[in-house]
Amino acid sequence: MKKLLLLILLIGFPLHEALCTHNRAGEITYKWLGGTTYEATITTYTKESVTADRCVLELFWGDGSSSILPRVNGPLGGCDSSGMGEFLGNDIQVNRYIGTHTYNTVSGAKGYILHFEDPNRNAGINNIVQSITVPFYVQTELFIAPSLGGNNSP
């Protein structure tokens, strides 16, 4: 019985690693399109060799709303006819998701925290204990001040 349990654990653990861990790095950038309309781009770097893959990500705009952003890069053929990402080599895939949003008219300056979260972070990160159980979270701040014009991130 103990041998059977050990065998199940040994078989199941690598499968969990292969299916559930893929995020390596990410960022959110934005550019001003005019008025209070902005285009946001989420860029993620993921492990190419795993089956976990995201054709869309949900971006929270910081004003109580969110949008589902499709992946736009790479050859077509992903789920929902989206791009499949671009393979960079070294087991790395880059993914870009783009969406636009118009904020309600702002009479004064205001900041918004844009963010997304994905439960699948790479395992084995040295400075994050049990990193596989810690969600991958990325945020940026957009500051809108109509009197100063548009705002773009680097």
Segment holding 18, helix H or strand E: helix 2-20
Give the DSSP letter of residue 135: P
pLDDT (0 to 100) of residue 142: 96
Percent of the chain whose predicted confidence (pLDDT) is above 70:
80
pLDDT (0 to 100) of residue 1: 52
Residues in contact with 92: Cβ distance below 8 Å, sequence separation at least 6, in sequence order: 24, 45, 46, 47, 48
Does 121 score more than 80 pLDDT?
no
Average confidence (pLDDT) over 145-151: 84
Q: Hey, what are 16's tokens?
A: 């969990």
Report the amino acid identity of residue 13.
F
Report the b/e string of 111-127 with b at 16+ CB within 10 A.
ebebbbebebbbbeeee
More confident residue, 74 or 17: 74
Q: Please report, in angstroms and rounded to a whole number, the separation of the first and last CA atoms in the chain.
A: 58
Domains and CATH numbers, the chain: 2-148 (2.60.40)
Q: Report the predicted TM-score, pTM, of the whole model to 2 decimal places.
A: 0.79
